[in-house]
Amino acid sequence: MRATICVDIESDHEMREVDKWFLTWRDKLTSVSEDKGCGCCVRIWDVEGPPEAIAAIPPATKSSD
């Protein structure tokens, strides 16, 4: 499964949640793009992995399946 993660860098909560998600799931992912965000306001990754990893993406940061 595929998804896009988009994080508002001003949201400490979102950043912590996505960092925690990557720590938990990174080894199970089959693909992680480079950060496609501008770096000044958002960070964006396209990820691919098992359904349970995609389902565990923090809802506020998951922008697509």
Q: What's the chain's average pLDDT?
A: 95
Residue 53: other Cβ atoms inside 10 A = 20
Computed on alpha carbons and rounded to an integer, the radius of gyration of the chain in Å comes to 11
Q: What distance separates the 2 farthest-apart alpha carbons in the chain?
A: 30
Segment 4-33 mean pLDDT: 97
Q: What pLDDT is recorded for position 52?
A: 98
- Percent of the chain at pLDDT exceeding 90: 94
Q: Is the pLDDT reported for residue 65 higher than 80?
A: no
Which domains does the chain show, CATH number per domain? Answer: 2-64 (3.30.70)
User: Is the Cβ–Cβ distance between 53 and 11 less than 8 Å?
Assistant: no
